[in-house]
Amino acid sequence: MALLAVDLGLRTGLACYGREGRLLWYRSSNFGRPGRLRRAIPGIVAAIPNLSHLVMEGGGPLAEIWRREAERQRLEILQFSAEQWRRDLLLPRQQRCGVDAKRHADELARQVIAWSGLKRPTSLRHDAAEAILVGLYAVRRLAWIPDATALPDALRG
């Protein structure tokens, strides 16, 4: 099984997790227009073997585009707000303002990348970082990481 986490937007963050709860890959894509995003989604979904879950951060019309494809593919759909995963993964002092929350999210996403054994990014867009973290939030909720002690201290939250 695999899980695709999406930070919704025309500039979309994507993060794919495997059944062991580790990040397999992540990226940011700028689709520019809703029509281009709509045409790209089936290919994104089809390219992930054994995809079972779609996790979205956010809502609105772009979420409906993703939802329709997920329903067509019979994927389990989870949808969260940034406030939900931040409350679980970041300390209150790390969330005082949007700039602080994004900086700490970037730091935490880099730790997830390292913990997963992936190559360190030279740059990490905030939409990809947020997709990584909403995906981490989801795999923890799904108990794909059965033993929280397997996580680095900063990720145990």
Q: Is the pLDDT of residue 149 over 70?
A: no
Q: Is the pLDDT of residue 147 over 70?
A: no
Domains of the chain: 2-155 (3.30.420.10)
| More reliable by pLDDT, 30 or 123 | 30
Mean pLDDT, the chain, integer: 90
Q: Are 66 and 56 in contact (CB under 8 A)?
A: yes
Q: Is the pLDDT of residue 137 over 80?
A: yes
Q: For 153, which DSSP code?
A: G
- The percentage of residues in the chain with a pLDDT greater than 90, rounded to a whole number, is 69
Q: Is the pLDDT of residue 152 over 70?
A: no
Q: Is the pTM of this model over 0.85?
A: yes
Name the nearest CA neighbour of 124 among 105, 99, 151, 96: 105
Q: Is the pLDDT of residue 156 over 60?
A: no
Q: What pLDDT is attached to residue 148?
A: 61
The alpha helices in the chain, defined as continuous H runs, are: 34-46, 61-72, 82-89, 98-115, 126-141
